Amino acid sequence: MIFEPFQIKNLQFKNRIIRSSIGGRTSFYDGTVTSAFKNFEKRFAQHGVSGIISATISVNDKRTSPLEYPKLSDDRFIKPLAAAIKAVQKFDCRYIVQIGDTGGHTHTSLFPQQEDAQSASSVFDLFYGYRTLHKAMTIEEVEQTIENFAEAARRVRQAGADGLEITASKGYIIQQFLNPGVNRRADRYGGSIDNRFRILEEIVVGVRKAIGDDFPLGIRLSAADHNYLPMNIRLPIRFPLKHWYFGNTITQNLYFAKKLKGLGVDYLHIDKGYGFINPKGNPGSFPVEEMKMFYNSNRHLSRKAWWRAALFNSIPNFLLRPIANIGWHDTPAVSADDAKRFREEIGLPVIANGGFQARSIIEETLLAGKADLVAMARPLLANVDLVEQFRRGVECPENPCTHCNRCPIRTANSPLGCYDPTRFASVDEMEAQIMQWSASSDEQISNE
């Protein structure tokens, strides 16, 4: 079934495998995509995926995930993105732009800035974001954010993309509002489930108006928040404790999905967990060494970041590894069973995300009606030709992705690529692989 076509609205996918969002430092300092962005995306398209979902492209001019991530907060970003999209589409590969806003989960910035603290409510979160304390957005800031999404959506269509995805997952701003363990507001954007949903509702309405009814629109939604994973301190504690400990469960997220269908959303992209990275969204191991590198790289930004780095540095790896790995498992097709519930109970096309690599598991997921499409990130970074291998009947690549989770942490500071040394004969070979990702003799993208 992997090689059967599938259609969402007017969008035809030649097979069922989509490259999931992979963000990295592939933009100029101002957020304009570079040739590295284009060449990186093009490699997946050349090797047979039917569609690509972009990295989370920021709708906010101030906040990006880490530095040099792409932005769509101004019209000047449209033309260079359009060039990258065109390069991908030449390979009969659909390009969906994902837009988002990291809010209080902004990982790093040039200098500490208040904008990076903005969230639904004032919460201390040890693991995600660098600001010591999140700051509750004012109503005007919420309204501005809704407008930012709509404006960015218009730019996505102008750039010639095939579709648009809004991320309401990854622990970014929308999920910060949806999540009852994080959102402690008492105004119209907090409290009841409908109030917590309101920001997403207004974003979807604004975005739909900006892109028109005929343009495919999807939402990346977490099936369940699992607030307690990874082991984290989110303070102050919130009552009822189940909200603090679990966040939204699948019941609440199915409720959101039903409302999204009513608002005219065309597909759901289902993953799991709260925060990037988290053990349900990126099943595998916790990358202790990489996390130390990352925390050390941003410890100058806030008191929290300084103490967090000090805490991690003070625990030797042999002790930290088992503690930090609590809850982290390599679970194949981690969200597939949840995706099935969304597909059956909501009746929209569903993309399942996380932990796919073996051909038979993908086949089984599709055949059992758990999902219509499967999205993959890390296994395609490890074996860019995986779809071609599947076509030749390969069950699992000879040198598979180990789900070590070094790559999603490295992405904040280093070029994109596979960082698992066990997969390479030497460090030189690993470095050559990393450098190859953005290589091309094509015309360069400029930010002028």
Ligand X SMILES: Cc1cc2nc3c(=O)[nH]c(=O)nc-3n(C[C@H](O)[C@H](O)[C@H](O)COP(=O)(O)O)c2cc1C
The footprint of ligand X (CB under 6 A) covers 20-23, 55-56, 167, 170, 271, 281-282, 353-356, 376-379, 407-408, 411
SS3 at position 140? helix
Cα 359 to Cα 364: distance, rounded to the nearest angstrom: 9
Looking at the DSSP bridge assignments, the partners of residue 351 are 269, 373
Cα 64 to Cα 67: distance, rounded to the nearest angstrom: 6
Q: Nearest approach, Cβ of 281 to ligand X (angstroms)? A: 6
Residue nearest to ligand X (CB): 23
Token pair 């989960």 in the structure block, residue: 105
Q: Nearest approach, Cβ of 408 to ligand X (angstroms)? A: 4
Residue with Cβ nearer ligand X (77 or 356): 356
Residue with Cβ nearer ligand X (22 or 384): 22
Q: Nearest approach, Cβ of 160 to ligand X (angstroms)? A: 20
Q: Nearest approach, Cβ of 282 to ligand X (angstroms)? A: 5
Q: Nearest approach, Cβ of 170 to ligand X (angstroms)? A: 5
Q: Give the burial class of 104: count Cβ atoms within 10 A of its Cβ; 0-12 exposed, 13-18 middle, 19 or more buried.
A: buried
Residue with Cβ nearer ligand X (324 or 377): 377
Residue with Cβ nearer ligand X (31 or 190): 31
Q: Nearest approach, Cβ of 192 to ligand X (angstroms)? A: 27
Q: Nearest approach, Cβ of 184 to ligand X (angstroms)? A: 25
6-8 vs 11-13, strand pairing mode: antiparallel
Cα 102 to Cα 270: distance, rounded to the nearest angstrom: 18
Angle, helices 288-297/303-314, rounded to nearest 10 degrees: 150
Residue with Cβ nearer ligand X (116 or 136): 116
Q: Nearest approach, Cβ of 242 to ligand X (angstroms)? A: 26
Q: Largest Cα–Cα distance in the chain?
A: 58
Q: Nearest approach, Cβ of 280 to ligand X (angstroms)? A: 10
Residue with Cβ nearer ligand X (185 or 280): 280
Looking at the DSSP bridge assignments, the partners of residue 375 are 18, 353
Cα 121 to Cα 119: distance, rounded to the nearest angstrom: 5
Residue with Cβ nearer ligand X (55 or 164): 55
Residue with Cβ nearer ligand X (104 or 408): 408
Length of the chain: 448
Handedness of CA 219, 97, 102, 152 (dihedral sign): negative
Sequence-ordered list of residues with C-beta below 8 angstroms from that of 121, at least 6 positions apart, any chain? 134, 136, 182, 183, 184, 185, 190
Residue with Cβ nearer ligand X (238 or 378): 378
Residue with Cβ nearer ligand X (22 or 152): 22
Q: Nearest approach, Cβ of 402 to ligand X (angstroms)? A: 11
Looking at the DSSP bridge assignments, the partners of residue 234 are 125
Cα 15 to Cα 222: distance, rounded to the nearest angstrom: 24
Angle, helices 35-46/78-89, rounded to nearest 10 degrees: 20
Residue with Cβ nearer ligand X (118 or 175): 175
Q: Nearest approach, Cβ of 394 to ligand X (angstroms)? A: 17
Residue with Cβ nearer ligand X (21 or 108): 21
Q: Nearest approach, Cβ of 119 to ligand X (angstroms)? A: 18
Q: Please report, for the chain, how many H helices and E strands are present, in that order.
A: 16, 14
CA dihedral of residues 104, 108, 110, 114 (deg, nearest 10): 10
Closest CA to 116 of 262, 385, 305, 352: 305
Please work out, in degrees rounded to the nearest 5, the angle formed at the alpha carbon of residue 340 by the alpha carbons of 338 and 346: 100
Helix (H) or strand (E) holding 101: none
Sequence-ordered list of residues with C-beta below 8 angstroms from that of 68, at least 6 positions apart, any chain? 25, 26, 27, 28, 29, 31
